[in-house]
Every structure is written in structure tokens, then in C-alpha cells.
């Protein structure tokens, strides 16, 4: 998931550098959404692991 967010971030940066503002805006929005989803899933996994009594990695 984090890999996809980074991919869309790179696409957004390249598109912005080349002047494709519509594509850059869309790609950056997708990257932001994927990054937030990744963070939420990461936190859920950490909380679930702590509830089961296993120490954090």
C-alpha cells in the first residue's frame, strides 16, 4: 500500500514538472488517500497486536 502511495507521488511530481496539472492533481490526491489508508491499517494492526498481548516489533 505504501508502495502505491509512493508511486502515485512520483507520478504526480513528474506530471507537475511537465506541466500536466490535471494529472498531477489527481495523482497527488490518490497518493494522499492511499497514504492515509496505509497509516490507518498500520495503526489498526499495531493495536490488534497489543490487544493480543504481543510486544511491538
d(CA 50, CA 57): 10
Q: Give the predicted TM-score (pTM) of the model.
A: 0.69
pLDDT at 56 exceeding the cut of 80: no
The answer as to whether 17 is a domain residue is yes
The answer as to whether 57 is a domain residue is no
Range of the domain at 29: 2-51
The answer as to whether 6 is a domain residue is yes
CA dist list (Å): 9 to 18, 19, 21, 29, 57: 14, 15, 13, 9, 28
pLDDT in tens, 3-55: 887 888 888 888 888 888 888 888 888 888 988 999 999 999 989 988 998 77
Residue 9, pLDDT score: 83
What total of structural domains would you count in the chain?
1
The answer as to whether 56 is a domain residue is no
The answer as to whether 43 is a domain residue is yes
Contact 27, 15 (CB under 8 A): yes
pLDDT at 57 exceeding the cut of 70: no
The answer as to whether 36 is a domain residue is yes
The answer as to whether 35 is a domain residue is yes
Residue 26, pLDDT score: 87
Amino acid at each position: 500500500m505504501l508502495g502505491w502511495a509512493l508511486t502515485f507521488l512520483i507520478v504526480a511530481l513528474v506530471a507537475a514538472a511537465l506541466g500536466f496539472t490535471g494529472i498531477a492533481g489527481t495523482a497527488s490526491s490518490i497518493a494522499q488517500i492511499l497514504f492515509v489508508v496505509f497509516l490507518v491499517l498500520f495503526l489498526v494492526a499495531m493495536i490488534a497486536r497489543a490487544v493480543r498481548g504481543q510486544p511491538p516489533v
